[in-house]
Structure 1
Amino acid sequence: MVDHASTDVNAGNVGSDVKEADLDMAGAIVALKRHARLIASAAGLGGLIALGIVNLVSPRYAAEVRVVIENRETALTRAGKDRAGAQDDAVNLDPEAISSQVQIAYSRDLARAVIRDLDLANVSEFNPLASPTGLLSGALGFVGLGRDIARLSPEERALDAYFERLTVAPVDKSRVIEIRFWSTDAALAARIANTISERFIDLQTRDKLERDRKVRRYFEHKIDDLRTTVADAEGKVQQFRGEADLLTGVNNLTLASQSLTELTAQLTAAQGQQAEAEARARSIRDLLKSGRPIESAEVFASPLMQRLTERAAALRAEHALQATVLLPGHPRMRELQAQLADNQQQIRGQAERIIRGIENDARSAGDRMRAIQQALEEKKRSTNSNGDKEVALRALEREAKAQRDLLEDWLALYRDAAARDSLDARAANARVVSRAEPGNIPVFPKKLPIVLITILTVASVAVAAVVGMALTAGAGEENARVQPLERREPELSYPVFGAADPEPAVPTGERMIEPEAAMALPVDQEESAPEIARRDTPDEIAAWQEDLEREKDDHRDAPFAAAAALARPDEQEHRNFGMARLAAKLVVVTGVTNARGEALLTLELAAGLAARGRRVIVLDAHRGAETLAGEVGVTLAHSLSDIATGRIGLAAAIQPIPGMAAHLLGDGGADSDALDFSTPRLSMALEALGLSYDSVLVRVASLGQGRDLVRHAGGAATIAIEAPDADDPLAKAAERSLALAGVGDILILPRQERNRTSAARRAA
């Protein structure tokens, strides 16, 4: 067994570096690389065709008009009841109203007006019969396969062309609508767009005018009838008022109501006078009782009281003057005191008379109040008897007033409608904010985008076709297995040239694996396994060598011409599928005598490459007991045959090699000698492995299989031959046959030298 101490690497760490790419996707990538020129050519051809078509198509020019929808009524043009303030545009011009305006712009009445104004029916662009497509449509309609436009009037044909070119849409988050019209004539497109906007506004104005005229005509008849109704209602009111003695006076009040009002006012005045008189009398009496000076308006208003007051003031002044020189008992002093007392007595008497006069006034006011109350009660009794009549009168008055108010409202509406009976007096709820101008840049065809889109589309279709063929290429492999090389090429006297490429063999370059690197690995000298029957027996190799020597003189100038001529073109192309990138990574291992030595050599090479830091995978296509899986002690559930027939994917068959930083992929199985690595699935498998690993080692089942694999790789691969020694005749014969077959890089790794090198290293 192999000593793996120097390569003790965790296989799980290596596994994380391997891409879990599916075989089908790898094949798709390879197919895309192979057909890159075809895809590019198809895309370029599609772009040229698209460029020619867009240059032949008549350019289309678009003109655009923007119209804002708003309430343009003013205080003068608005109805009388709305003149106090403008109506809310947000209520009248909601999104639904804007959408309605868009539909108005699409109306056929407006379209007919535009067609008549611009005489579009006589323009060739609006006459489908004048174009080849129109003639085709007419022919299809004639046989019943379409609409017969020949039976339409010129105006109807112009309408169809008109609506095909018209686009009206609201601008987002605004009250603006966009009217867009395209034509092959830029000036005509602008003229039509502007005419549409003018007709659109004129249509709204005429619609308002027509509504006002209908209102006026309606009110003309209704107002005459309503006037008669109002006159009858007012006449009934006057007649009932006279019959019920409910005549009105001031302020439109009945006489009874007016009398009640006056009596109530008089009663209130009498009550006030009585209360006022009683209050004045009580105030003066209180002043007399308290002995304080009588200060009242009634007292001051009495001339007698004024004289008495003045006399009292003069006596008090003289008494004070005499008191300065006379004693209180002096006769003059007693006289003055007597005069003052008499004066005060007179003042009090006069005050009593004033009080009695005021009290008399109060009693008079009370008597008058009672008389007024009596009259008021009598008037109320008489008024209550007329209550039912007044109720009926008020009902008649309400009816007359309602009819009169309705008449006034209708008269106001009639006057408003009559005042707006003119186009100049009406304002449409729209105005143009941006007029159309003739453009010089066509909106169709967009040459650069169309060409680019065509190129991308053709390229996408080509890529999809290539990928589809690559993904389905292996579907029938199980029913069409590749036959052995000898059976596919019976014409040749030797099987070496069975599938040779027509190109010259690639010259031997720098070898991927040096012999010293292989011999540096230890090899177990004991070989207990029996020899295994192989397809390339020593007799076969000797026969090949003799056949090659005989053929050398006949094919010296072109040794591979006969094989290339015998190979089918499709098979020749199929064998070179995607193998160019594996040239520097592929190592084919075979042997001439010993199967176990061949297996050990494969493991030695894998260990040496892995020790150098390379990512290595080993493919075992050998049949028999001496498999690599048996040597390393692992069990493989799948084989290369399963991959070739499509039963499993590539990632599911890979397993790590214990104790080595390398991976192992399937033993050959019972039919490994029939494996052909040029088949699509195995070829794609090798390509996918070459993308994920640094080195791919393939242990082939026979020398012929190894030769075919190297030639399939373009000759840029290495074949390592395991032999007992360097001069082994079978190994030399195999080397010569491979060289004559076009294989350039051949290594004979003698078993004895490898064993000596391993022993020397172990001794050191």
Structure 2
Amino acid sequence: METNALSTPNRPLPLAAQQDDDEIDLLKLWSAIWRRKWAIISLTLVVAMVTVLIVLSLTPIYRASATLLIEQKKANVVSIEQVYGLEGSGSEYLQTQFELLKSRSLAERVVNELGLTTHPEFDPRQQEAPLIDIKGWISQLNPKQLIPGEFPEDLEAETGPSEEQIFASVVRQFMRRISIEPQGKSQLVNVQVDMADPRMAANAANRLAQGFIESQLEASMAMSADASAWMNSRLSELRTKLKEAETQLQNFREQENLVDIDGVSTITAAELSATSNRMVDARSARAEAESLYRQVQSMKSGGWRRLATVSAVLGDPLIQQFKANEAQAKSKVEELSKRYGARHPAMEAARTELAAAEASLRGQVEQVVAAIERNYRLAVANEQSLRSSVNENRAQIQDISRKEYQLREYQREVDTNRALYDTFLTRLKETAATSDLETVNARVVDTATVPTTPIKPKKPLIVLLATFLAALVGVGLSLLLEMLNNTFKSTDDVENKLNLPVLGILPLVKKKDRKQVAHLFESDKDKSFSESIRTVRTSLVLSGMDKPHKVTVVTSSVPGEGKSTVAANLAIALGQMESVVLIDADMRRPTLAKNFDFAVGTPGLANLIAGTAELSECIQNQYGIDMISAGAVPPNPLELLSSPRFEALIEQLKDKYDRIIIDSPPTQAVSDALMLGTLANALIYVIKSDDTAIPLAEKGVGQLLQSNAPVTGVVLNQVDINKAKKRGYSYGGYYDYYGYSEGAKS
């Protein structure tokens, strides 16, 4: 035992303390699960047994299935769907039929036919009330109960549900039992009904399938009747419109005196074409005559001689002949003038002949010019006459075109109404002729048979799943408890979290010995406890081999962790080898006087520092050591402990005793421990196993180290060894198993 204790203070820190806290330690998780394995197994077994009992009490449900073939298109002679715009093709059509199979109207039909309102499985009046009526409990929380007065639903609840309510409830329940399952990409569909009564389930499935076919047939016949009625009314309207259109057409013909508008429009168009051609010729003749007329008019001022030079005049045969006669007469005059004198009869005859030729030529020129002017006026008049004829023909054609357009419009209205009337008349006759032809889009392929094997509950699967989930929940709860239990449970936790050596562990004391725990080491009733105190004593002595720890302070994080017990028993153990004085410096919650039965009013540390008592009066000797209690509880303990008189007292006690053990207040309660640490050579930090929170201890140790307190190590107190062994914790080097076993035997 001593060898193990010697190695404890100088034990190197484990590698886990140097790793990142965020890393997941699988071994640690497995250890947490393994420590609670029996709890997990117990939870799993209990849940499995309860599940078995529940499953055995469940009512088996049977499923009956009938197979339907749904054709995508009806074999109708008359396509009524075209009238309503419903085409029976495509996946949407099949999906619609599937939803119709689950419709409320079809469910109501089956409920009525099978009388399910009186069946025990559906009738609420025949069903037993559940052991735990959750709905009834919730209804008791209705706030309307706090309002005075009666409500209709309250009166209804007193008198019981009506027949309508029962029927609606049964229909809802039955609809929840129906399932439609298409078979792949085919047109086959399984109509399934789940019930506790297998025979009734088969009847319901068959009635659903047959009811669907009958409802489709009824809907088809009703649709045919509706279509016939609608077409009759529509046919009457079309007949009236056709008569009105024909009357308007005939009235228009009589009003406009139209017999054959096509022939009239053809003659008028031919006349317009011929007149237009003549007008083109007349325009050309007028242009030509106008050209000659303009030439003649421009030459009039020059006399008839100049007019004779105009090409149109000059081209006249008579003009050319008269010009030749004039030229001949003129040459004869010139010839005779050379032989005869002016008064010679030959000359006079020749001049008379010349004058007659000139007169003839002049007269002819004037006639030609007059003819040109007359031709021009005639051409202009002819052109104007033809233009008037063209305009008149064009107006006539436009008028005929307007009449033709209006006539065509009346004719088109008549033709359209006649076509619609003929179509509806033909369809109506076809519908009337085939109205008694019963065609459906579905047929039963396989009828439902009475099932022999229930589909649910799947008892083995339910038990297996419940057992698995229970084990999973148990593991989860174990890990959750491990995460929530953020306390020190082993020496490894202390070393990893605080980086301090563990001086020893103290086992959990039996209930019957807890009244004497302050001096349990001296009585030696608990061998394991005594050996543990010796281990702590050895660790403390060996940690100060080079420089003995004269002043040792014992503290903890919070009250109740056992620091006073550790201080008292450690002082008694050291008193077996050295002179020791135990000082109770926890003047706010003193325990030393009470634990060792000091007389009431015994002076102590407070009196000694305040100067109201002598040292000899304050020292009480028990179990081989001197003890100084806290004395009268002062109002200012921290001021007393930080006074020079307390420091002088410690120096005085150092000369008198080999060891001074000081029971200090907790670090998280007051600051006394921080001040006492400055006067100590060693400081023992007591941690209660499986109780002290890790952050609390880290904070306390951190405060002590910041104050330069000589924190020597940690004592893990009140360790439940049996519980720790079950959890897989080992305390080798800190605990003497031989001593524990001896103590257990005694």
Band of TM-score, shorter chain: 0.3 to 0.5
Bigger Cα Rg: 2
TM-score normalised by length of structure 2: 0.48
TM-score, scaled relative to structure 1 = 0.47
